[in-house]
Amino acid sequence: MSGRPLIAVTSGEPAGIGPEICLRLIEFNSAAGNADLLILADRKLLAERAEAVGFAGKLREWTSGLHPAPGCLDVLHVPLSVPSHPGQLDPANADYVLQLLDRGIEGCLSGIYAAIVTAPVHKGVINDSGIQFTGHTEYLAEKTGTPHVVMMLAGGGLKVALATTHLPLKAVSPSLTQESLEQTIRILHAEMVRKYAITKPRILVAGLNPHAGEGGYLGHEEIEVITPVLERLRAEGLQLIGPLPADTMFTPPMLAQGDCILAMYHDQGLTALKYASFGNGINITLGLPIIRTSVDHGTALELAGSGQADPGSLFAAVEQAIAMASRHM
């Protein structure tokens, strides 16, 4: 296009706020000037939502080689399976949502897009359609043939990665093995170097149990799984601090010692992250052969079509994708 990175943005669940926060990217596009944005969506859906929220720009059908134009938002048309209405989920559109992701992934793998940014999807309605879907992270890993990826959220001055992702709490301990934890730490370390240009990243590692197991009195995962991995990787030169009690890990003195955090399970790490950054946090998938960032919120069906949805998280996700893509150009 213009020698700048082309960032693909999937509009997500059509009944949610994804389409309208994507429309707000015309504001970001006008101000950024250092990347080209492409929205993957049903063109009629975007036009309907644009009318509902008073979108002042022009929706333009994208073709390869098209140069950006002021006041225009470029759209790659992917047709809905059935018409969609704000706030009304329909399992019939689950395939459409996944087609958006597939088109974005294919474009990144082929080098057309420098990165993919994803608006929120609704896991429940995709599963209601008969398609097993755990989340973006797992879907991207499967579609890119990546055996091990790491989910990380960033915002509020924090970078929090997860050793396990979307699992019931009772499944966390059995899933936390030395092998999986070592893979996660290696990916996290490498991506801090590659994507964030931190030469020697310092990683704060949480324990799994209260008080990091209290020397075995409150659990043995720290002794049997976490500590042996940390000691082995420290011997290779990785800077790993822990295992740390999760209830004190997010205090300012402890945070000052690290560049990022590795939590053992979803809510252990993300409760603090979302408290610090809700509305402006982002999700990054580490370990993929492509760059992927995302919003840190859901579909907000109750706000769909109102024009009141905050695009801050999407703006932050696009900004991060551009920064990462620019480092690799």
Alpha helices in the chain (DSSP H): 18-23, 25-32, 43-53, 94-109, 123-128, 136-143, 169-175, 178-196, 221, 227-234, 246-249, 252-255, 266-277, 312-327
CATH number reported for the structural domain that contains residue 53 in this entry: 3.40.718.10
Same domain, 281 and 304: no
pLDDT in tens, 252-311: 999 999 999 999 999 999 999 999 987 789 999 999 999 999 998 999 999 999 999 999
Q: In this structure, are 138 and 158 located in the same domain?
A: no
Instruction: Looking at the structure, tell me whether residues 135 and 179 fall in a common domain.
Output: no
Distance CA 204, CA 173 (A): 19
Contact 187, 287 (CB under 8 A): yes
Are the C-beta atoms of 71 and 104 separated by less than 8 Å? no
Is residue 168 domain-shared with residue 225, that is, in the same domain? yes
Do residues 119 and 183 both lie within one domain? Answer: no
* Dihedral pair phi/psi, residue 139, rounded to 5°: -65, -45
For residues 278 and 227, membership in a common domain is answered with yes
Asked if residue 191 and residue 128 are part of one domain, the reply reads: no
Both tokens of 105, joined, read 């992934």
What is the span of the domain harbouring residue 111? 1-146+296-329
Q: Are residues 98 and 198 in the same domain?
A: no
**168-210 pLDDT per residue, tens:** 999 999 999 999 999 999 999 999 999 999 999 999 999 999 9
pTM score, two decimals?
Answer: 0.89
Indicate the number of domains in the chain: 2
242, 229, 236, 176: which is closest to 203 by C-alpha? 242
